[in-house]
């Protein structure tokens, strides 16, 4: 299993359980969940995911491989529809138990503008400003670097599609009930092969997901634990993948603020500079 599979596990976990929203997410119990089989509960969660428009997610990613161990902690609020916007923060990035200097940062996206505050980019920002603004249309036109496509991945990795992938599991089971952040939930666990996950998607979605879960990895398994509330909305998801050479990754995501509106305000103009994409990409 190559490194991308660890990343894929993260992408799947985040999106799959970002299942949130549209329904208020009160989590008033798990009575309905207890009447469903484990497979039916996943399908129900997938249906609820299709109603997801806004959500908050707290993410922890841990991994091991040739370069040692690493951990990422991040959180953010996201709106997928009717237009994409988000506010996200990278809280911690460490490698081998040591924090990576300058890796923490923030990102805001609204309209066609991406605002980023990342210490490692400071040398490429005009006027020494802490924030940089990137017009995704202009950046693509002038550099050939598809930033719009990169931003679009947040929207393309649709929670509805990702949750549907887990309905391909042939061994999902109900584990029991647990309290997650004060909400009573039902805990499910299972595994799904990459191929079975892809088979649950329509042709367009399958082609998109294959960019990070290619056919050569078809028989690798993703192990998952999913906690859903009384409205069949995920409150927590843990996803794990292990490779042939001992490498692996674990992603834990906590979800909240289903369907709640939020604003994304650009930083003050006097704190924003322009990014030298030519310098960043090695140009003149």
Cα 220 to the center of its chain, rounded Å: 20
| Residue 56 confidence (pLDDT) above 70 | yes
User: Confidence band (pLDDT; 50, 70, 90) for 187?
Assistant: very high
Residue range 232-249, pLDDT digits in tens: 888 888 888 776 666 678
d(C-alpha 49, C-alpha 43), whole Å? 10
pLDDT at residue number 265: 92
Q: Where do runs of H (alpha helix) occur along the chain?
A: 3-17, 31-35, 38-49, 136-143, 147-156, 159-166, 194-199, 203-209, 277-280
User: Confidence band (pLDDT; 50, 70, 90) for 14?
Assistant: very low
Longest dimension (CA), the chain: 64
d(C-alpha 186, C-alpha 33), whole Å? 7
| Residue 258 confidence (pLDDT) above 60 | yes
Give the domain range for residue 61.
Answer: 3-280
Q: How many domains does the chain have?
A: 1
CATH number at 248 reads 2.50.20.20
| CB 94 within 8 Å of CB 70 | yes
Token pair listed for 123: 């040398």
């Amino acid at each position: 299993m190559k490194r991308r599979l660890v990343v894929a596990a993260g992408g799947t976990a985040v999106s799959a359980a970002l299942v949130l929203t549209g329904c208020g997410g009160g989590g008033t119990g798990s009575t309905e969940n207890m009447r469903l089989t484990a497979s039916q509960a996943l399908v129900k969660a997938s249906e609820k995911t299709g109603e997801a428009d806004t959500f908050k997610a707290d993410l922890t990613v841990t991994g091991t491989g040739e370069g040692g161990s690493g951990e990422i902690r991040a959180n953010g609020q996201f709106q997928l529809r009717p237009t994409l916007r988000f506010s996200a923060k990278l809280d911690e990035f460490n490698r081998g138990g040591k924090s990576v200097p300058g890796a923490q940062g923030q990102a805001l996206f609204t309209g066609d503008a991406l605002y980023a505050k990342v210490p490692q980019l400071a040398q490429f920002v005009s006027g020494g400003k802490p924030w940089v603004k990137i017009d995704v249309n202009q950046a693509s036109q002038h550099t050939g670097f598809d930033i719009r496509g990169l931003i679009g991945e947040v929207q393309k990795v649709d929670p509805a599609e990702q949750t549907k992938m887990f309905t391909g599991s042939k061994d999902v089971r109900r584990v029991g009930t647990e309290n997650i952040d004060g909400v009573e939930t039902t805990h499910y666990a299972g595994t799904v092969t990459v191929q079975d996950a892809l088979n649950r998607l329509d042709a367009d979605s399958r082609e998109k997901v294959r960019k990070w879960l290619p056919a050569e990895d078809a028989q690798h398994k993703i192990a998952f634990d999913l906690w859903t509330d009384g409205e069949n909305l995920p409150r927590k998801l843990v996803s794990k993948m292990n490779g042939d050479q001992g490498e692996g990754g674990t992603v834990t995501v906590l979800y909240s603020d289903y369907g709640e509106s939020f604003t994304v305000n650009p930083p003050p103009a006097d704190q924003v500079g322009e990014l030298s994409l030519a310098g960043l990409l090695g140009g003149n």
